[in-house]
A and B are shown apart, each in its own frame.
Chain A
Amino acid sequence: MTEILKFFIGLTVLTGALLSLVTAFGLIRLPDVYTRNHAASKSATLGVMLVLLGTLLYAYQDTGSFHSRLLLGIAFIFMTSPVAGHLISRAAYNSGVKLWGNSVRDDLAKHRKK
């Protein structure tokens, strides 16, 4: 049982670290604010949540104490991260940051003009 738990802990922490790394790649590679925001608001959320979950399980397995603060941290990140992504992209759009050149359509600009 503990071996399975240890394997699972390693898997969650490694997956979380991998997702954070891919987020960093995405921030460098993607062309404009909005597509970068896709990478930052999704992969980073799940990456941090998985690392925290691994920490929670490790502390429980190692010392037998249940750290409920980590659980609260997971819940708060889960709730706040999409809102932060929305607010950053909205602020960028309202201050006139252009979409990437290859973008196909922009309904918001049409509706704003009316």
Chain B
Amino acid sequence: MAFQILLNFFLAFIWMFLKTSYTPVTFLVGYFFGLLVIFTFRRFFHTRFYGYKIVAVIRLFLIFNRELFLSNLAVLKVILKPKLDIKPGIFALPTELKEDWEITILANLITLTPGTLVIDISPDNSILYVHAMDIDDIQEAIDGIKNSFEKAIMEVSR
């Protein structure tokens, strides 16, 4: 991915030299044409076309923001309810992610999800221990959310 971006910069500079005009606008035009060229020749690279990856990163960021708002609403409801009828507990959550940074992002996302907080990660990086505020009604919902998160993170790292 980094190689493709570097190549795109080179193409933009070549465009600037061809035009003999060294302004940011010329650079952007050259960058755009370089993007088209790299997209056309995408089958010669080992990795995917890097535009897909940027879209995946933006989607992950939007998911992050949405979950932050939803989790705040959920915590607000629990705190302001007159009767305290929560059932907290710790459950184990197996994960398929391998790299350290992927697991960090997954743990951060889970912490910002409604009613869950990561307490520990097993030494071989395969299980996350999650403290949930309301364990019985949340178990299936968590699995669904976790699948969507894990899928979004894999989309970025693939």
Q: Judge whether B87 is part of the interface by a CB distance below 8 angstroms.
A: yes
Q: Please report the C-alpha to C-alpha distance between residue A45 and residue B118 in the assembled complex, in whole angstroms.
A: 16
Where chain B touches its partner, the secondary structure class is: mixed
Knowing that A106-B89, A108-B119 are A-B contacts, what are 9 other residue pairs whose CB atoms are under 8 Å apart, sorted by A's residue number? A25-B79, A25-B80, A29-B79, A35-B86, A35-B133, A39-B75, A93-B119, A104-B89, A107-B90
B contact residues vs A (CB 8 Å cutoff): 68-69, 71-72, 75-76, 78-80, 84, 86-92, 107-108, 111-112, 115, 117-120, 122, 127, 129, 131, 133, 135-136
Q: Judge whether A83 is part of the interface by a CB distance below 8 angstroms.
A: yes
Residues of A within 8 A of B135 (CB): 104-105
The answer to whether B91 and A30 have CB atoms under 8 Å apart is no
Q: Please report the C-alpha to C-alpha distance between residue A86 and residue B72 in the assembled complex, in whole angstroms.
A: 17
The answer to whether B118 and A105 have CB atoms under 8 Å apart is no
Nearest A residue to B118 by beta-carbon distance? Answer: A86
Residues of B within 8 A of A104 (CB): 87-89, 135-136
Closest beta carbon of chain B to A43's beta carbon, Å: 5
Known: A105-B135, A111-B127. A35 touches B88 (CB 8 A): yes
Nearest A residue to B109 by beta-carbon distance? Answer: A82
Residues of B within 8 A of A42 (CB): 68, 71-72, 75, 111-112
**How many A residues touch the partner, as a band?**
35 or more
| Segment with Cβ contacts to B, from A51-59, A61-69, A95-103 | A95-103
Residues of A within 8 A of B75 (CB): 22, 26, 38-39, 42-43
Q: Judge whether A85 is part of the interface by a CB distance below 8 angstroms.
A: yes
Contact for B111 among A19, A85, A105, CB less than 8 A? A85
Known: A29-B84, A86-B118, A99-B88. A22 touches B76 (CB 8 A): yes
The answer to whether A82 and B88 have CB atoms under 8 Å apart is no
The answer to whether B79 and A30 have CB atoms under 8 Å apart is yes
Residues of B within 8 A of A85 (CB): 111, 117
The answer to whether A111 and B122 have CB atoms under 8 Å apart is yes
The answer to whether A86 and B119 have CB atoms under 8 Å apart is yes
The answer to whether B72 and A34 have CB atoms under 8 Å apart is no
Residues of A within 8 A of B107 (CB): 82, 86
Residues of A within 8 A of B117 (CB): 34, 37-38, 41, 85-86, 89
The 10 lowest CB-CB distance pairs between A and B, nearest first, are A82-B111, A104-B89, A107-B92, A26-B79, A105-B89, A108-B129, A82-B108, A34-B131, A103-B88, A106-B90
Name 24 A/B residue pairs within 8 A (Cβ), A-sorted.
A22-B75, A22-B76, A31-B84, A34-B88, A35-B133, A39-B75, A39-B79, A42-B112, A43-B75, A45-B112, A46-B68, A82-B111, A86-B118, A89-B131, A90-B120, A99-B89, A103-B87, A103-B89, A105-B89, A105-B90, A105-B135, A108-B90, A108-B119, A111-B92
